[in-house]
Structure 1
Amino acid sequence: MAPTAQVAKKGSKKAVKAPRPSGGKKRNRKRKESYGIYIYKVLKQVHPDTGISSRAMVIMNSFVNDIFERIAGESSRLAQYN
C-alpha cells in the first residue's frame, strides 16, 4: 500500500508535516552574516543595563552595512586619483 497524507481533524492544534522530497535529507540553511554580536557588545560596554530589540538590531545592521559601502566607495575614488 502507498503511504497517504494525514489530514488534521477539525479543531486539532497539531500541525501535519508534509513528506520530504526525494532524497530525504534536511536542507541546511545558509548562514546570514550580521554585525549583531558586535553591536550588542558595544552597547553593553556603553550601557550595560540596556537591551536592544530585534527590529532595532536590523536597523543598526543595515546602518553599518551602508557606512561600510560608503567608505569602500570613497576609498575606491581616492585610489583612482593616485
Structure 2
Amino acid sequence: MSDKRQVVAGLEIDGMFEKLVGEAAKLARYNKKPTITSREIQTSVRLVLLGELAKHAVSEGAKAVTKFTSS
C-alpha cells in the first residue's frame, strides 16, 4: 500500500472512530450518564455501521473485552 493510501485509510478510520464516539456521547447524555459504557459503544456501532458489519464489529469487540478481562 502506498504512503498516500495509508494516510487516506488512516483518516477514514479516524473519522469512523469520531462518529462512533460522538454517537456514544449523545447516548450517554440522553440517558443522563456521566460516562460512556460498553452499552453506549455497542449501540453506537449498531447505529453507525449497520447490518452485518455492525454484527461483526460487536462480536469482535465482545471477544476482545472478554480476552482482556480474563488475562
TM-score over 0.5 for the alignment? Answer: no
Q: TM-score range by the shorter chain?
A: 0.3 to 0.5
Greater relative contact order structure (CA < 8 Å, 6+ sep):
2
> TM-score scaled by structure 2?
0.42
